[in-house]
Structure 1
Amino acid sequence: MMRSGGIDTASADRASASVQDARLISRLAISLAAGASLLSSPAFAQDPEAPERLEDLIPDSALENPEGWAEQGVPQSATDMEDAPPEVEADSPLDAMPLVTVPWPTEIELPEIDPLDAEEDIQFAEFPFETPALVDGSEERISDELVLVFPSDLALFPLRDEFLARFKTLSTIEELDDDANNARLAAQAREDEELLQRMLAVYGYYDAQVIRSVQGLTELDPIDAPQAERGVRFDIIPGAQYLFGNIDLGSLATTSRFGDYEALRGAFEILPGDPALQDKIVEEQADLDRALGESGYPFAAIRAPELLVDHARQEADLTMIVTPQGKYRFGSVTSNRPDFLSGRHLGTIARFKPGQTYQRSEELDLRRAILATGLVASVVITPVEVQAPVDGEPGVVDMQVELVPGELRTIEGSIGYGTGEGFRAEASWQHRNLFPPEGALKVRGIAGTREQLLGVTFRKNNFYGRDRILTLDAYASTLDYDAYDARTISLTGTYEQVSTLLFQKELSWSGGFEILATQEREADANGNFGPRETYFIGALPVYALWDTSDSLLDPSEGFRLGARVSPEISKRNGGDMQTYARLQADGSYYYGVNDKIVIAGRARIASIPGAPRDEIAPSRRLYAGGGGSVRGYGYRSIGPSNSNGDPTGGRSLLEFSLEARIRTPLLDNSIGIVPFVDAGTVGVNSTPSFDEIKIGAGIGVRYYTSFGPIRVDLGVPLNPGPNDDVVGVYISLGQAF
C-alpha cells in the first residue's frame, strides 16, 4: 500500500547495507582515533624512554659541514627503528589489531580488462515508427513530432478521447512544437512522459506503463537536425483501472438527527466500486460543500481528501473528513455602520426572512446586493451563532455585515450624436447617500443642438423591497425640432421594480404620475412657427416588461414583451378639456445561430385613442425615425407632414427592425458588423395605416467591451422624403434594441 507513491524495497536494502558499513567504519575510526591519541601523548622530562629532541639528533659538526655529515648516512639504530613495528602497550585498543600494510598505488598491478564485443543485433526505430511496443495498438498522431499509441480495444481505455483532449492542452511538446531543437525536444519528451503518468493516475490507472521511444534525439545527432527526422512516441499500457474501496466521510452521519443525511450523502455521488477518478473527487467535494451550505450548515468544514492506494486489491480508499457542526436558521441582519446602512434596511434587501433555513447562496446574494448599491467599497458577511441547536432543532445565526463606505459623490457625463438630433451632451452631479439609507440627490443638465434641460432628481433605492425604486423628478426643458418646439416644466413621480446589470429580472414594472405645463408651437406650411399655445397635462403612466433575454445590453437569445398605458387629461388655453390614452406595445426576439452570429428582430405598435390629433400637444403625439426607431431617417422625421415636409406627428405608429449581429476575429473578437433593415409608419388616425411606410437599411459596427457594445450605425433611407439626408449616423452604447 502507498500514500502518494510507493517505496523502493531494493533501495531500502541498499540503504540498510550502507548503514551497516557506516557502523563498521565508525568503529574502525574510533579505534584509530584512540591509537592516534596514545601515539601523540606528550613525553615528560623525567621519562627516560622519551624520544630524543631535534637538537640532540643534529650535532654541532653538522652545522659546520652539512654535506659531509649527510654523506655519513643514517645510524643503524634509526634503520632498525624504521623496520621494526612500533611497540604498543598491552592494554591499548590497537594491541589486538594486526598490522596493515598497503602498497603504494604505483606498485599495484591491475589486470587488463578485455573490451566488450559489439552487439550487432541492436536496431534503432525509424520515424515514423514501424514496430509499436504494444502488440495491438492504434496510433493517435498529436503533431509531426508526437505520437501516442493506445490499446486498440476501446474497452481497455474507454476515456481515450477525453484523455487526448486534456493531454493536448498540457503537453510541453505540443506547446513548444514550433521552435524545439533536439536537446529541447528530448527534455520535453521526459516532461510529457511524467505528465502521462500523472494523468493516468488521475483516471485511476495506478499500474499503467508509459514507454517512451525517441528518434533523432541522441547525443550524436546534430543539434539542428531536420524536424522530419526526429520525433517522440509514447506507448501507453493502462493496465487495470482501480476502483474506490472504503469511503470515510467523517461525521457526516451526524446530520441524520436533522433528517439530512440521505440527501447530503446522495449529493456526494461516489460509492465503493466506482472507478477511482481523482477529478470525480474534486467535483463531488464541491457538490457536497454546496449541499451543506444550502441545507443549513454555515459552519461545515471539509478536510482535503486523502487517497490510500492498495495495489494488492487494486482499490483506492478515500478519506475526506466532514464536520457539519450543526444546522441553523437565519436570524436578523446586523450592520457595523447603522447610521450609513442600517441592519433593518439590509434585511429589506435580503431575499431571506428570519426563521428560514440558512442557505449560503442567500448569504452571497445579500453580499452582491450590498455591493450593487454602489455605496460601499467592500463588504464581509459573517454568520454568528445566537442560539445553538438543541434536541434535533436547528439553531439561529445572525448575519453580521461589516462594510466599508465608498465614494458617495460622483460627476458623470456623456456625449452623443444622431442625424436629426445633432449633438447632445449631458452632465450630472450626484450624492448617492445624502438621505440614508440610499437616498440620492442628483442635479443634471443637457446641452444639445435640439434639447436643453436642467433638472433635480430624488431617488430612493431598495425602497420597501429589493430593487424597488422611488423617484421624484422636477425639470425645465426646451425642445427644438422640425415639427415643433416646446418649453416645458414638469414634475414626475415613479415607483418601479427594474432590472439591473447585476440582477436582470424576468418581470419589471413601473407606475406613477406626471404633471406638466408646456408652451408649444408648430410649424406652418411654410416652415414658420405660429403662436405658442399652453397645455396643462396630467398622466398616470403604467408599464410592464416580460424579459427572458440573456443580457440587458447585448442579448443573444430569448425575447422581450413590453406594454405601456398612460391615461391622460389635457387642457389647452382657450380650448376644451381632452381625455385620451397613450398605448404602446413592444416585442423583440433574439436567436443565436452560433457563438458568432445572432439574428434579432423587433416590432412596435402604438395608438392614441380618445381625442383629435390637433387637440393633443405636439410633444405628446407619435413620431418615428432615428437611432432607436427607423435608421436612415432623422429623429422624429417620419409621419404626417405639412406642405413644407416638416412632420406634424400622428396618433398611430408601426415599426419593424431586423438585423444580423456578426462577430469578427478582429481585435481578438471584439469587433462586430451588423447589417440591418428598418421600417416604420405613422398615421393620423388611432388605427395604424400602411399607406406610407418608410424603409431604411445600412450597416453598423460594434466594439464589444466588458460593460456592453459601443454602437456606430450608418443608415440610408430607401424611400426618402424631400427633407431626408442621404445617410444617417448613430452612435450610442448598447445594441439598437
Structure 2
Amino acid sequence: MHDSRFAPRAKFFSLLIVALLAAPVLLWPQSGFALPFFDKLPKFKVRVSENKELQNWLRDKLGEQRKSSSVLKSYDDPLDVARYERGTLEKLLRSRGYYDGRVRQSVTDGEIEYRVVPGPVYRIKALDVNMPPRVKGGFPGVGLKVGDPLEAEKVTEGVKRIESYLADNACLLNVDVDYQATVIHSEQAAKLEYRVANSPEVHIGQVHVQGLSTVDEDFLRKRLKIQPGDCFNRSKLDAAKLRLLRTNLIAGANAEVSDPESGIVDITFTVIERKHRTIRLGVGYTSDDGGGIAAGWEHRNILGRGEKIEVETRVYEAKQSLKGELRVPRFFRDDQEFSATAEASNEERDAYDADSVTVGGIISRHHTKHRTFSVGSELKFSKVQEEGEESENYNLLSFPLGIKIDTTDNLLDARRGATVAMEVKPYFDLRSSGTQFTKNTLVMTGYHTFDEVRFDPTLALRIKAGVISGADNLEIPADERYYAGGGGSVRGYAYQALGPRRLIPSTVAGEPPTLSDPIGGRGLSEISFEGRFRFTESWGGVLFVDGGNAYADPQPSFDDLYWGAGFGVRYITSFAPVRFDIGFPLERREDVNDSAYQIYVSLGQAF
C-alpha cells in the first residue's frame, strides 16, 4: 500500500538529489572556470579584441591544458603559471595561422589576465602535392587551397587524406608522407608542400601464420581477409592484426613483410596465443542477499575455433545456483553467435521459494555495428511455493525474441552513448493447466560525460518498463512476475520489497488481517539517475536517485513510484569499477518495516 502522506516529502528529496546531479551541467565552464577548494590554480581571463571566436577557443584550450598538465601542478606562484601559459597561448596562435601574435599577461589579486593581439592571419600562397604520377590523377585534394589560413590541424589533416587515398588506390610497399611549410613573414604568407616518398608497388604472395598450438589455423586465416594476389598496403595488415586480437584467442600479433621480388612480397603473421583457461573466485555482499561467494571456470577455445564454455556457481544466503554456458561465435555466419545454457537454482525469498532447472539456446545476429537481434527457446522446470500457499509445479516453454541497440563505449563502465533493449518472451505451460502469458520488457539507458568540467562528471539515466499479458496475476508463476526494489532496481529498499500485496486473514478471532510480502505484478516501472565523478585515476564517487514500483494490473505508471536515494564509492580497475553503494528509502513504510538503509557491493556500475 502506498501512503500518500509521504509523497510530497519524497518528491522534494528526489528533486533535490536530481538538482545535485545536474549541478555539473549548470556549472558550464566560463572564463577561468574552477571549482572552489578543489582547484588551486589561479583563475584566468583571455581577452582578444574584436575576435570572440578566437577568444573562446583560446580560453577552452587553456582550460583543457590545466586539467592534464603535470608542469602546472608543480607551480604555486601565479606569475610562474602566467609565464608558462603565455608560451602555450603563443603556440596556439601559431597553430591557427597567427605568426605575428603577441600575448601580454598580468596578475591582479591572484587572477591572471591574458591580453592577446593576434595580428594578421598568414595564408597559403602556394600549394603543391608531390606523389607518383600514376596515382596522382584521381587524387581529390588535401582539403586546402591557395588563400586558406595556414592552420596546423588542417595541414596535418591533409597528410591523413593523402595516406587514405594511397591506401585505397595504390599498392606501395611503404607509404611515407610529410609536408614542409615555409613561412614568408614579409608577405604574411606561406608555401605548403606535401611529399610522398618513392616506393615500389607490390602485390601479396604467400601468407603464413606461425606460433599456433591449439587454435585452428584455417579459422584464423579466414579472419585475416588477405589473399595471394591482393594489392599490398599496410592498412590491410593492421586491420588483419586487429581482427586476430578481437577473436580473444590471440594475445599478440606481428606481421613481417619479405623483400619484394618481381613485384611480390610474402607476409608472415607471428602470433602468441592467449591462455585459454581462467578460474575465478569472488566474494560479495548486499543487504538483499547477504554475503556469499562465487566461483567459475571457463575455457575460451574448447574446440579450437573460439568456442567458449563457462561454468559458474553462486552461493548466497537467499539464492544458490549452478550454471553452464557454451558460446559458439561466427555460427554459420561471421555476424552470428549461438549460446546454449543450463542452470539449476534454489531461491528462498520473502515472496516465494523456488527450485528450478532451465535449459535453452539463443542465436544472436549483429545486424549492424550497434544493432543485435536474437531468437531462441527455453524450457524451465520449476517448483514454486508462495507465502501461505501450496507449492505448484510448472513446465514452461518460452521463445524469447530480442533486439538491442548499443552505442555505449564500455560495457561495465559506460561514459557515453545509449542502449535500448526490448525482449518479448511468450510462455506456454506444458502441464495440463495450459497457462499462457507473454512477458514484455523494455530497458533504456543513456550516458553523457562532461570532459570540460573537473572530475569528468557523467550523467547516467536508466528507464525500465514491463508488461505481462495473457493471464491473471496469480496464474503466473511467482518467480516470473515483476518485482521492484534492490541493487538493480530501487536502491534503498530491500530486494523485491515493492509491489502489490494481499491481505492475509488473521487466525485469531477479532484481529484484523495483515499484509503479505509482495506477490509480484504484471506491470513494472523504474527510473534511475546517477551522477558519477572521477576524483583520481583509481577512485570515483556516485550520487543516485532511483524510483520504481510493480503493479498487479499490466498498466505501468511513472506517477505512483517509491523513491530511494544515496551515494557510493568506486574503485576503478583496468577491468571494471568495484562499487560500494548505500541507499536510503525516501518513504519508509511503517506497515512493512522498511530498513533505514541498504548496502550493495559488486563489480561494475549499477547500470
Alignment TM-score, normalising by the size of structure 1: 0.60
Residue 241 (structure 2) pairs with residue 367 (structure 1)? yes
Per-residue deviation at 1:435? 1.2
Distance 1:205 1:479, change over 3 A: closer
Instruction: Please name the residue that 2:508 is paired with.
Output: none
> In structure 1, how many angstroms separate the alpha carbons of the residues matched to 2:582 and 2:278?
30
For the 8 Å contact 2:443–2:463, the answer to whether it is kept is: yes
Instruction: Please name the residue that 1:255 is paired with.
Output: 135
1:715 to 584, 589, 600: 584
For the 8 Å contact 1:381–1:402, the answer to whether it is kept is: yes
Instruction: Please name the residue that 2:497 is paired with.
Output: 637
- 1:624-655 C-alpha deviation (Å, 9 max, x unpaired): 32222233332223334452654464451221
Instruction: Please name the residue that 1:578 is paired with.
Output: 434
2:271 to 403, 412, 420: 403
Per-residue deviation at 1:448? 1.0
- Code of the residue aligned with 1:652 in structure 2: it is R
For the 8 Å contact 1:292–1:300, the answer to whether it is kept is: no
- Code of the residue aligned with 1:582 in structure 2: it is T
Residue 566 (structure 2) pairs with residue 695 (structure 1)? no
For the 8 Å contact 2:128–2:193, the answer to whether it is kept is: yes
2:314 to 443, 446, 468: 446
> In structure 2, how many angstroms separate the alpha carbons of the residues matched to 1:406 and 1:432?
9
Local SS of the residue matching 1:368: helix
Residue 551 (structure 2) pairs with residue 679 (structure 1)? no
Count, aligned residues: 542
Distance 1:370 1:688, change over 3 A: same
- 1:110-155 C-alpha deviation (Å, 9 max, x unpaired): xxxxxxxxxxxxxxxxxxxxxxxxxxxxxxxxx99x99999x8989
> In structure 2, how many angstroms separate the alpha carbons of the residues matched to 1:328 and 1:341?
31
Residue 467 (structure 2) pairs with residue 606 (structure 1)? yes
Per-residue deviation at 1:421? 2.1
| More contact order relative to length (CA 8 Å, sep ≥ 6) | 2
Residue 411 (structure 2) pairs with residue 552 (structure 1)? yes
* Farther off after superposition, 616-625 or 161-170: 161-170
Residue 167 (structure 2) pairs with residue 293 (structure 1)? yes
> In structure 2, how many angstroms separate the alpha carbons of the residues matched to 1:467 and 1:515?
26
Q: Higher strand proportion, which one?
A: 2
Per-residue deviation at 1:325? 5.2
- 1:305-344 C-alpha deviation (Å, 9 max, x unpaired): 3445667777644444214858899999863356644454
- Code of the residue aligned with 1:255 in structure 2: it is V
> In structure 1, how many angstroms separate the alpha carbons of the residues matched to 2:163 and 2:365?
34
> In structure 2, how many angstroms separate the alpha carbons of the residues matched to 1:242 and 1:692?
61
For the 8 Å contact 2:466–2:556, the answer to whether it is kept is: no
Distance 1:362 1:656, change over 3 A: farther
For the 8 Å contact 2:533–2:542, the answer to whether it is kept is: yes
Per-residue deviation at 1:603? 3.0
Local SS of the residue matching 1:487: strand
Local SS of the residue matching 1:420: coil
For the 8 Å contact 1:520–1:617, the answer to whether it is kept is: yes
1:492 to 348, 351, 360: 360
Per-residue deviation at 1:457? 2.6
> In structure 1, how many angstroms separate the alpha carbons of the residues matched to 2:319 and 2:231?
54
Distance 1:360 1:485, change over 3 A: farther
Local SS of the residue matching 1:434: coil
Instruction: Please name the residue that 1:516 is paired with.
Output: 380
Per-residue deviation at 1:480? 1.6
For the 8 Å contact 1:424–1:447, the answer to whether it is kept is: yes
For the 8 Å contact 1:655–1:680, the answer to whether it is kept is: yes
Instruction: Please name the residue that 1:417 is paired with.
Output: 285
- Code of the residue aligned with 2:568 in structure 1: it is V
Q: Which one has a bigger Cα radius of gyration? A: 1
For the 8 Å contact 1:333–1:343, the answer to whether it is kept is: no
- Code of the residue aligned with 1:372 in structure 2: it is R
> In structure 1, how many angstroms separate the alpha carbons of the residues matched to 2:126 and 2:225?
41
1:566 to 425, 438, 443: 425
1:619 to 464, 475, 479: 479
> In structure 2, how many angstroms separate the alpha carbons of the residues matched to 1:464 and 1:593?
39
Local SS of the residue matching 2:446: strand
> In structure 1, how many angstroms separate the alpha carbons of the residues matched to 2:57 and 2:499?
61
Per-residue deviation at 1:680? 0.7
- Code of the residue aligned with 2:372 in structure 1: it is S
Local SS of the residue matching 2:523: strand
For the 8 Å contact 1:332–1:347, the answer to whether it is kept is: no
2:337 to 465, 469, 474: 469
> In structure 2, how many angstroms separate the alpha carbons of the residues matched to 1:517 and 1:471?
20
> In structure 1, how many angstroms separate the alpha carbons of the residues matched to 2:428 and 2:97?
77
Local SS of the residue matching 1:718: coil
2:444 to 583, 588, 593: 588
Distance 1:178 1:565, change over 3 A: closer
Local SS of the residue matching 2:486: coil
Distance 1:489 1:397, change over 3 A: farther
Distance 1:365 1:512, change over 3 A: farther
For the 8 Å contact 1:302–1:320, the answer to whether it is kept is: no
- Code of the residue aligned with 2:359 in structure 1: it is L
Distance 1:204 1:618, change over 3 A: closer
1:661 to 520, 531, 538: 531
> In structure 1, how many angstroms separate the alpha carbons of the residues matched to 2:474 and 2:96?
79
- Code of the residue aligned with 1:260 in structure 2: it is G
- 1:465-488 C-alpha deviation (Å, 9 max, x unpaired): 446432222233222222222332
Distance 1:375 1:203, change over 3 A: same
Alignment TM-score, normalising by the size of structure 2: 0.71
> In structure 1, how many angstroms separate the alpha carbons of the residues matched to 2:345 and 2:448?
42
Local SS of the residue matching 2:437: strand
Per-residue deviation at 1:405? 0.7
For the 8 Å contact 1:335–1:342, the answer to whether it is kept is: no
Residue 337 (structure 2) pairs with residue 457 (structure 1)? no
For the 8 Å contact 2:447–2:461, the answer to whether it is kept is: yes
Residue 522 (structure 2) pairs with residue 652 (structure 1)? yes
Query: Matched residues, percent identical?
Result: 23
For the 8 Å contact 1:632–1:698, the answer to whether it is kept is: yes
> In structure 1, how many angstroms separate the alpha carbons of the residues matched to 2:556 and 2:72?
65
Distance 1:694 1:669, change over 3 A: same
> In structure 1, how many angstroms separate the alpha carbons of the residues matched to 2:472 and 2:377?
23
Quote the RMSD (CA, aligned, Å): 5.2
Per-residue deviation at 1:255? 0.9
Distance 1:383 1:489, change over 3 A: farther
Matching of residues 16-55 of structure 1 within 5 Å: none
Per-residue deviation at 1:379? 1.4
> In structure 2, how many angstroms separate the alpha carbons of the residues matched to 1:513 and 1:653?
23
Distance 1:159 1:564, change over 3 A: closer
Distance 1:301 1:414, change over 3 A: same
Instruction: Please name the residue that 2:397 is paired with.
Output: 538
- 1:51-88 C-alpha deviation (Å, 9 max, x unpaired): xxxxxxxxxxxxxxxxxxxxxxxxxxxxxxxxxxxxxx
Gaps of 5+ in 2: 1-40, 452-456, 505-513
